[in-house]
């Protein structure tokens, strides 16, 4: 009986993970009610699902709210941009459907469907990147577009899984569709993001900087002298100027050392003079004593 309720038991781990997914799905739905906060909720959901693959997983609700607060502004901005693009694609598709009788509209509808697929791919990568990296909105969107094409097999796999889920629900009987609504309310969004993160996490992990076991000396940053730091806002000193600056510093240091040596020599001479004078004073006293004795005689 003790083994049955042990938290390391596979059954207990499955039940615990099921409960976590239910909590995440509920948090996502509640935090997305204002609509404009869906971007921050998506970032938080991606972050919490990715943390499940790491040793320091923590509590899912803490991970969710931590990412929600950190990514609220940028997540909201990116979502509003993608929302406008999605609405435009939806309007274009509705207009193409109304003109279905025209043969020239068919290529346009195909292009719209391709654009919708790209929209979904970029959306998934965008909030996955936003959940783990600090960057500007424009740069994050640019990186999402690049990764969408660079990791095309993973992007296509996410789209195919999503389309398969939709087709299963649409082709299923009415009672199954009723349960599908319940599924969406309980697990739908969180499980979908969890499936996507299984494909995204290796890519995200490869983009993260490697952690070094030994810190730099004196807790300072280790600097690569050959690195190009111009992109960070720094202006590196040219090699000729560096050598000239180094020569000047060496000359200044030599001058300071020579000055200190001269000062030391002068102090030594002064000390010698003082010692000589004090010695003469000591030697002169017995002579005065002898002359005085001669006078007395």
Report the pLDDT value the prediction gives residue 105, as an integer from 0 to 100.
80
C-alpha 98/C-alpha 22 separation (Å) is: 40
pLDDT digit string (tens) for 200-216? 999 998 988 765 443 33
Which tops the pLDDT comparison, 175 or 39? 39
What is the percentage of the chain residues whose pLDDT exceeds 90? 44
Residue boundaries of the structural domains of the chain: 10-206, 238-291
Question: Whole-model pTM?
Answer: 0.67
- The DSSP code sequence of 150-198 is HTHHHHHHHHHHHHHHHHHHHHS-HHHHHHHHHHIIIIIHHHHHHHHHH
pLDDT digit string (tens) for 61-97? 899 999 999 999 999 999 999 999 999 999 998 888 8
Contact 17, 51 (CB under 8 A): no
C-alpha 45/C-alpha 68 separation (Å) is: 8
Across 50-62, b (16+ Cβ under 10 Å) vs e yields: bbbeeeeeeebee
pLDDT digit string (tens) for 219-234? 333 434 444 434 434 3
C-alpha 86/C-alpha 141 separation (Å) is: 15
Over residues 171-177, the mean pLDDT reads 77
Over residues 172-184, the mean pLDDT reads 80
Contact 41, 68 (CB under 8 A): yes
| Least confident residue range of 6-15, 203-212, 267-276 | 267-276
What is the percentage of the chain residues whose pLDDT exceeds 70? 68
């Amino acid at each position: 009986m003790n083994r049955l309720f042990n938290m390391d038991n596979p059954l207990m781990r499955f039940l615990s993970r099921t409960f976590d997914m239910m909590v995440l799905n509920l948090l996502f739905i509640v935090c997305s009610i204002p609509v404009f906060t869906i971007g921050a909720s998506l970032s938080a959901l991606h972050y919490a699902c990715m943390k499940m693959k790491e040793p320091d997983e923590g509590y899912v609700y803490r991970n969710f709210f931590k990412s929600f607060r950190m990514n609220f502004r940028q997540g909201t901005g990116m979502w509003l941009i993608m929302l406008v693009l999605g609405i435009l694609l939806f309007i274009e598709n509705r207009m193409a459907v109304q003109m279905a009788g025209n043969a020239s509209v068919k290529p346009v509808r195909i292009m719209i469907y391709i654009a919708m697929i790209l929209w979904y791919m970029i959306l998934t990568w965008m909030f996955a990147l936003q959940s783990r990296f600090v960057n500007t909105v424009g740069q994050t969107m640019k990186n999402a577009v690049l990764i969408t094409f660079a990791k095309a097999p993973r992007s296509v796999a996410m789209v195919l899984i999503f389309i398969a889920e939709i087709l299963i629900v649409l082709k299923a009987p009415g009672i199954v569709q009723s349960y599908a609504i319940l599924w969406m309310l309980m697990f739908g969004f969180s499980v979908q993001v969890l499936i996507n993160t299984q494909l995204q996490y290796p890519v995200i992990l490869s983009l993260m900087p490697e952690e070094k076991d030994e810190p730099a000396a004196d807790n300072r940053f280790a600097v690569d002298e050959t690195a190009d730091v111009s992109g960070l806002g720094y202006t590196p000193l040219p090699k000729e100027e560096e050598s000239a600056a180094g020569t000047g510093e060496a000359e200044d240091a030599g001058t300071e050392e020579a000055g200190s040596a001269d000062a030391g020599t002068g102090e030594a001479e002064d000390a010698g003079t003082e010692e000589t004078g004090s010695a003469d004073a000591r030697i002169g006293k017995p002579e005065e004593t002898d002359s005085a004795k001669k006078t007395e005689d």
